[in-house]
Amino acid sequence: MPAPSSADTKYLEVHGSMWRVVVTVPRRLQRKLGTKLKRPLGTDSLREANRLKWDVVAELKAVIEQAERPDMSKDAALATARVKAMEEARRLSLQRNAAFDLEQRHKIDDAIEGYAEVLAGDPVEVGEHGHPVFEPERDALAMEFLAVAKGKRTPIDLHHKKYMSMSQVKPRTAADDKRALDYLKDWCARNGVSAHLQSMTRREAVRFCDDLPGLVGKTDPATLNKYVSRLSVYWSWLENRHEVDLNIWRGRRLKKPAQTTDQKERPFTDAEMKTLLLGPAAQAMHDVMRIGALTGARLDPIVCLKVKDCQNGTFVFKPQKKEPGPRLCPIHPDLVEIIARRSEGKEDTDDIFPEWPGPKKSDTLRERSFKTSNQFTDYRREVGVDDQKEGKRRSLVNFHSFRRWFITKAEQAGQPESTIAAVVGHKRKGMTFGVYSAGPLLEQARQCVEAVKLPDLTVA
């Protein structure tokens, strides 16, 4: 449906100073529904009314359709009405919070109360002292609508869209955020807990964490804590905006079982490095492995390199994790030939690794290096480099083991811990290095990188 012009008044009329939607009822149904159905929009702006009206028009036409199809079950009709009512309650609640003065808030409150009257419907009888009695289900829906719209009961996801718009996280993390909230809403529904901020206490947080493995279908604490962490970040944002009194998820984590040394992911041994670097891999895989080993970089920034990111003797890796911006890393002498070969005849914006162009779907959550990682895993297993422990999902060696190997060799070469951390993009420890220092000079970083040497790859 094309967007209406700002002067369009179709389906609209002014009531007092505010606009409302008006839909004419077919003559055959007027004895049942009246001549017109009306719904306040809570705004005195015609432009805003035109933006909001179509959902309301659709809802009112659904009421007419329900009257024409009396075979639709009462429960189904009420469920549909509730979904629409809660959507409207959320919209009016946000509009009410943003009201710039008391008069504007009064206008919105009038619209809220008018909507609630429509939801309650006509009285079914007159009770004691002449008070009207409404159909219980519709009356309960009207009361719930009033509570949500006036901010007395705030759905736990009411502010989540705004929170996400202000959050600078990767698509995969954003998906984890939404999934965590869906798990919480599902838990509330299963346990009869009201899914509103006012109902969520520390006690509910503890119960949710206890039940989370069953909701997710996994018991790995790292996976479960990922969702608890996302809820904690959201609640912290709500706390800072005075939407909740405290972050009920703060410090709430599922305890990880103690790991012995032989259960932790580890660097490659020199023997494993020789096996990988001398094995029958494709040239692109050999190049990726060597860059990983001699920079300590993660796989995705390597695969995403452009020609312009590999100039003047320096890599410019895109930021990862909590890095504030692109990270510089000197190009190791043993990588100069690889970069020269892969840059030859290319433009600055061309890929260093066109072999892995990344997923074709624009809305995918997978990183560009997804297939590279899978191919490396297949190759690693093919040449017999593996360390799988019972009960562990991942092998203790993987592409990240090149990063661990680089850090180990740099440390063994006597390089300062703070310089190594800066080269690989780790947060540097302490107030002096972590806050006040701008980082090591590029020359110090170059010395650190060049201190790392590949194992002797000559075949005896």
- 132-184 residue pLDDT tens: 888 888 888 888 888 888 888 888 988 898 899 888 788 888 899 999 999 99
DSSP-derived letter for residue 331 is P
Q: Which of 85-99, 157-171, 226-240, 261-275 has the highest mean pLDDT?
A: 226-240
Q: Which of 143, 117, 120, 99 is nearest to 20 (CA)?
A: 117
Contact 82, 62 (CB under 8 A): no
Residue 75 has pLDDT above 70, yes or no: no
Residue 320 has pLDDT above 60, yes or no: yes
pLDDT one-digit tens code per residue, 78-87: 677 777 788 8
What the chain holds in terms of domains, given with CATH numbers, is: 12-149 (no CATH), 160-240 (no CATH), 263-450 (1.10.443.10)
Predicted local confidence at residue 5, as pLDDT: 43
Residue 456 has pLDDT above 60, yes or no: yes
258-267, 326-335, 345-354: least confidently modelled range:
258-267
Residue 419 has pLDDT above 70, yes or no: yes
Residue 58 has pLDDT above 80, yes or no: no
Predicted local confidence at residue 197, as pLDDT: 92
Predicted local confidence at residue 358, as pLDDT: 80
Find tokens 């609508």 and name the residue.
145
pLDDT one-digit tens code per residue, 180-235: 999 999 999 999 998 999 889 999 999 999 999 999 998 888 889 999 999 999 99
Predicted local confidence at residue 77, as pLDDT: 65
Predicted local confidence at residue 384, as pLDDT: 95
48-52, 194-198, 428-432: least confidently modelled range:
428-432
Predicted local confidence at residue 4, as pLDDT: 39
> What band does 440 get if pLDDT is binned at 50, 70 and 90?
low
pLDDT one-digit tens code per residue, 370-400: 999 999 999 999 999 999 887 677 899 999 9
Predicted local confidence at residue 114, as pLDDT: 81
Predicted local confidence at residue 324, as pLDDT: 66
For range 237-250, the mean pLDDT = 92
Mean residue pLDDT of the chain comes to 85
Find tokens 């911006």 and name the residue.
325
β-partners of residue 406 are none
Percentage helix, strand, coil for the chain under 3-state DSSP, each rounded to 5: 55, 10, 40
Predicted local confidence at residue 437, as pLDDT: 43
Find tokens 């806050």 and name the residue.
435
Pairwise CA distance, residues 54 & 1, whole Å: 9
Find tokens 């993390």 and name the residue.
173
Query: How many other CB atoms are found less than 10 A from the CB of residue 160?
Result: 17
> What band does 92 get if pLDDT is binned at 50, 70 and 90?
confident
Pairwise CA distance, residues 276 & 270, whole Å: 10
Contact 47, 6 (CB under 8 A): yes
Predicted local confidence at residue 259, as pLDDT: 56
Strands, E assignment, 284-439: 310-311, 314-317, 327-330
pLDDT one-digit tens code per residue, 292-309: 999 999 999 999 999 999
35-44, 118-127, 351-360, 427-436: least confidently modelled range:
427-436
Contact 304, 310 (CB under 8 A): no
Predicted local confidence at residue 172, as pLDDT: 83
Residue 2 has pLDDT above 50, yes or no: no
